[in-house]
Structure 1
Amino acid sequence: MQPRRVAVLGGGPGGLYTARLLKLANPACDVRVYEQGDPGSTFGFGVGLAAGTQRKLEAADPDTLRDLVAAGLRHDMTMRVGADSVRVHNDRLIGIARTELLAVLQRHAEKAGVELDFGTRRAAGDLDADLVVAADGVGSATRENGSFGGRIDVGKGLYLWCGTDFALDAAMFAPVETDYGTFVTHAYPYSGDRSTFLIETDEETWRRAGFDTTTAALGSAGTESDETSLRFLEQAFAEQLRGHPLIGNRTRWLRFRTVHCDRWSSGNTVLLGDAAHTAHFSIGSGTKLAMEDAIALVDALGEAENVGAAFARYEQVRRPSVERLQELARRSRLWWESFPSRTGLPVERLMVAYMSRAGNVPLDRFATTAPDVVRAALEQYGGEPAVGNLAGWVLGRPLVHGGRRFPDRTSVPELETLACALDDPWSPEGDELVARARDTDGVLVTGPPARPALLTRLDLAERVRLETGVLTAVEGPAELRDDLADGLVSGRTDLVVLTEETA
């Protein structure tokens, strides 16, 4: 179909990119972006663009990608725990300032003939357009006032975005211990003199530090940053910051909100990006999802005969990918919310645990990109260099636990059965299972054969192992032995039981 007039609500990356692609596909179409803010105002610091997203942008619009890459900064990834650190090479990952990202997208949208209307708040029902694209963010008024079946799940942990005035030499994950508890930074460079510092903590630590009080004092509105938190964290991360300050930009403690919608369209209006869905920042970015949405929506409009058919096609194509990423992100969020319990692992094994936390990067795949890291992690785990098939080698290592010796990781004694049917091992139901395990000499965590259920069992077993010290084993289908091997190296379980069930 070829709409005559298209209105885009929201001048963020998703809205601007949609507008440009629509105008390139339909030069005669009147495409207008409505953004309530000013052209140069934005929240946040840097944005990451991974290799997969870059490939999709290259196919859809190489001119825009070329300018984004030129404005960005490539970097590797490191993890630091105390004096120990490990580095993973990744020459396709780039960081770019959000201000620069928007400037590039605004420039390319206008170059294509898109009209940009700043400084005015508009609603979908007020616009005279054949098609309205609502890219109005996580707090979308379009979603909240429409019939999209929207709902929001709120995470337990707290985080804040800030920045600093120097460029790290690589992305960095680093915990620091304070008198109140553990804070963890995810930091990365995005220009020659700037880095993003995202900092997370758990609610107990946040309250002990008094940040519940500073957050309440700021209120829910306003543009000020939580300077008390910034100054405390500046001292806590002084080593990582190398004496530089933390910079705020409406910086305050938040809990991550995961947006789900039963429907992404209603009438002539369609949701895009954060308005339709969000995924935790530790594994996906709103920018990635929104720009990939834009590509799919414009493709669907080019293939369909009418708006309804185009919206149905767009959702049919995008929803499976989005929901898969949301599930990976949910697992990643739970892992990060419980991160401090794992810092006793050697940093190489911790990096393996990080890479495999959502079940998306198996050990053998990680070994092809970071062979030195995996080699060291396996030697730490097994006491000698790994040889042959990795999963087979991992399962074949002996174990000494509580004075008992096991010839390999599949020789499991009689243990108390702990049936797991949870989505969240850190829920109150998970607490009850951990409490049950305390009164045993060891537990075998059982459950359905499906892979998501197995990954959850491994997480629950890790809680049991770390919090009680009892011998833990996890049951799973032999066809998922790679996941079980990842769990062993990552310290999620001591032993495994292979079954003949089908995942």
Structure 2
Amino acid sequence: MKLDSIAVLGGGPGGLYAARLLKLSHPDAVVTVYEQSTPDSTFGFGVGLASRTQHNLRQADQDSLNGIVAAAYGHEASMRVGDNEVHLSSGEVLAIGRTELLSVLQAFARGVGVNLRFSDRRAVADLDADLIVAADGISSPTRTGLTDDFDPSIAKGDGLYLWCGTDFALPRAIFVPVTTEHGTFVAHAYPYAKDRSTFLIETDEATWKRAGFDISTEETPNSHSDQVSLDYLQEAFKETLQGHPLIGNRTKWTRFRTIRCRRWHTGNVVLIGDAAHTAHYSIGSGTKLAMEDAIALDRSLLEASALDEALENYETARRPAVEHLQAIAERSMAWWDSFPERLDLPVAQLMVAYMTRAGKVSVERFVESTPDVARPGLAAYANVDALEVPSAPEVTAWVLGRPLESSGRRFTDRLAPPRLRTAADTVAVEVTVRPWSEDARKLVENLPSARAYWLTGPDDRETVYDRFDIGERIRRTTGALVVAEVPVGFEGDAAGALVSERIDLVAFYRAD
């Protein structure tokens, strides 16, 4: 198809990358990016790029990826609880300052003839172009202005978080909780330059209020940083900060917003990135999603003969991957929101729980890729020496085969005996609610007293993970034994739930 003009609204990473790809594919088209801010104006600190994202960018445009990698900073990861820390080899994980990333992408867009218009705010109604790509962010004016066409829904998370930074490079990425007189704060921090690190800090609403941050948030203008919170957190995380300050950049507490749209295109307008969808930062950055959207859009435009067909194909091809990631991300967000409840776990076991929290990584894969962390975590679960933990092919069966003692009862393995389900002190619970919803809270609070709870539900993998998450809430609330029914074929998922202490026993069955 021939496109004579393409307008991109938004000069963030997604918009710039889309503009370059579209200009390369349609060299005769006039491609213009309209960005309301100045070239060096940005919000945030570092942007992480996992190895899989780098692979996708390399396949789409090797040259721009080379430019990004040259300006990026590699790092590994760790988790620390108290005085105990475990290190995680994270492969080819890179981070880059958002300002540096924008500079690289601006240069590569200009290099192929894209027109960059800064301090130039435009709306769809202002433009006369064959194609309008709206990459205008989480608060997208395009999406807002065409609400009836895109039909968005927005769900807010329970916890609160803020982005800040510091003026030195941490030795590696770190997940670290700190408990103060007001409650627990959890930092996700990583280096992105030789003299810079990102600090993302989370907490629950009750802790946030006890610390007075509801008041400081209310009193801080949107154009400023909440210095009251930064000063408090700088003291709380002084060990990790090694005496360095926390730096703000319009830093205020907020709740994560998960955005979904029934449609991503209307007429000649198409949404990409945060304008169309968001996924919690603990699973994948908005930058990653936006740039991968740009790749899919470019491919669909090349393959189709008409614009309507191309935009429909883009959405059809891209939506399943985005929705899958959003489902995983929501589960991960809930795990982090409830992270302080797990601080009783040994840190190596907590790392296994972290890696398997949303079904993206199995116990087997974790043992295979990082045995020096996974084996101590599995050993803590089984109360054995790490040398007794087998290698990857046998580890799932080994986890399922561990004995259990609970409330005076002994089980030879983690397979629930059928007689347990019909025991007088066992209560069957059908799980049909989302694990971290208000309905789930009421479900757990209103459970009749029992020594064991037997969880049932639908057969699909997503709802099996709902049972695991509800199971963890029940275990930690009641102290009772928790059994989850799991379809045959999901043994690896069950192993992760057992090691993470989300359930105690599993009952396998063959789904219809």
Class of the TM-score when normalised by the shorter of the 2 chains: over 0.9
Q: Paired residue for 2:341?
A: 341
Q: Is the 8 A contact 2:416 2:483 kept in 1?
A: no
1:406 paired to 2:418: no
Of the three residues 487, 492, 497, the one matched with 2:497 is 487
Q: Paired residue for 1:416?
A: 427
Query: Over residues 210-265 of structure 1, what are the superposed CA-to-partner deviations in whole Å (9 max), with x where a residue is unaligned?
Result: 1001111125xx31000000000000101111111000000000100111111111
- The Cα shift of 1:403 comes to 2.1
Q: Paired residue for 1:215?
A: 217
Q: Is the 8 A contact 1:300 1:311 kept in 2?
A: yes
Q: Is the 8 A contact 1:418 1:433 kept in 2?
A: no
Q: Is the 8 A contact 1:185 1:199 kept in 2?
A: yes
Q: Is the 8 A contact 1:397 1:409 kept in 2?
A: yes
Separation in 2, partners of 1:136, 1:43: 13
Separation in 2, partners of 1:35, 1:427: 38
Separation in 1, partners of 2:416, 2:323: 37
Query: Over residues 114-165 of structure 1, what are the superposed CA-to-partner deviations in whole Å (9 max), with x where a residue is unaligned?
Result: 0100002100111111111010000001001112111211111100000000
Aligned length: 499
Alpha-carbon RMSD across the aligned residues, in angstroms, is: 1.1
1:450 paired to 2:460: yes
Separation in 1, partners of 2:349, 2:319: 34
Q: Is the 8 A contact 1:2 1:301 kept in 2?
A: no
Query: Over residues 437-473 of structure 1, what are the superposed CA-to-partner deviations in whole Å (9 max), with x where a residue is unaligned?
Result: 4621121111112111110100111111112211111
Separation in 1, partners of 2:274, 2:226: 25
Secondary structure of the equivalent of 1:479? Answer: coil
TM score, norm. by length of structure 2: 0.96
Q: Is the 8 A contact 2:488 2:508 kept in 1?
A: yes
Secondary structure of the equivalent of 1:143? Answer: helix
Q: Paired residue for 1:441?
A: 451
Q: Paired residue for 2:172?
A: 170
Q: Paired residue for 2:184?
A: 182
Separation in 1, partners of 2:272, 2:342: 37
Of the three residues 130, 140, 151, the one matched with 2:153 is 151
Separation in 1, partners of 2:357, 2:198: 23
What code does the residue aligned with 2:28 have? Answer: A
Secondary structure of the equivalent of 2:405? Answer: strand
Query: Over residues 76-114 of structure 1, what are the superposed CA-to-partner deviations in whole Å (9 max), with x where a residue is unaligned?
Result: 110101111111112310000000000000000001100
Separation in 2, partners of 1:296, 1:452: 26
1:228-239 alignment to 2 at 5 Å?
A: 228-239=228-239
Gaps of 5+ in 2: none
1:386 paired to 2:389: yes
Q: Paired residue for 1:133?
A: 133
Separation in 2, partners of 1:321, 1:428: 28
- The Cα shift of 1:391 comes to 1.4
What code does the residue aligned with 2:22 have? Answer: L
Q: Is the 8 A contact 1:437 1:468 kept in 2?
A: no
1:24 paired to 2:24: yes
Separation in 1, partners of 2:5, 2:101: 26
- The Cα shift of 1:474 comes to 1.1
Gaps of 5+ in 1: none
What code does the residue aligned with 1:399 have? Answer: L
Separation in 2, partners of 1:426, 1:56: 33
What code does the residue aligned with 2:389 have? Answer: A
Q: Is the 8 A contact 1:437 1:470 kept in 2?
A: no
Query: Over residues 405-449 of structure 1, what are the superposed CA-to-partner deviations in whole Å (9 max), with x where a residue is unaligned?
Result: 1111114423211111112x2222212222244621121111112
Q: Paired residue for 1:58?
A: 58
Q: Is the 8 A contact 1:438 1:468 kept in 2?
A: no
Secondary structure of the equivalent of 1:233? Answer: helix
- Report which stretch shifted further, 337-346 or 465-474: 465-474
Query: Over residues 257-302 of structure 1, what are the superposed CA-to-partner deviations in whole Å (9 max), with x where a residue is unaligned?
Result: 1111111111111111110011000001110000011111111111
Secondary structure of the equivalent of 2:472? Answer: helix
- Identity rate of aligned residues, in percent? 54
Separation in 2, partners of 1:299, 1:308: 14
1:429 paired to 2:439: yes
Separation in 2, partners of 1:94, 1:150: 32
Q: Paired residue for 2:142?
A: 142
Query: Over residues 289-317 of structure 1, what are the superposed CA-to-partner deviations in whole Å (9 max), with x where a residue is unaligned?
Result: 00011111111111111211110111111
Q: Paired residue for 2:507?
A: 497
Separation in 2, partners of 1:406, 1:303: 58
Separation in 2, partners of 1:350, 1:2: 54
- The Cα shift of 1:50 comes to 0.6
Q: Paired residue for 2:486?
A: 476
Q: Is the 8 A contact 1:224 1:250 kept in 2?
A: yes
1:299-314 alignment to 2 at 5 Å?
A: 299-314=299-314
Secondary structure of the equivalent of 1:184? Answer: strand
Separation in 1, partners of 2:5, 2:415: 64
Q: Paired residue for 1:245?
A: 245
What code does the residue aligned with 1:422 have? Answer: V
- The Cα shift of 1:392 comes to 1.1
Q: Paired residue for 1:15?
A: 15
Which runs of at least 4 in structure 1 moved beyond 6 Å after TM superposition? none
Query: Over residues 312-353 of structure 1, what are the superposed CA-to-partner deviations in whole Å (9 max), with x where a residue is unaligned?
Result: 111111111111111110110111111110111111111111
Secondary structure of the equivalent of 1:397? Answer: coil
Q: Paired residue for 2:322?
A: 322
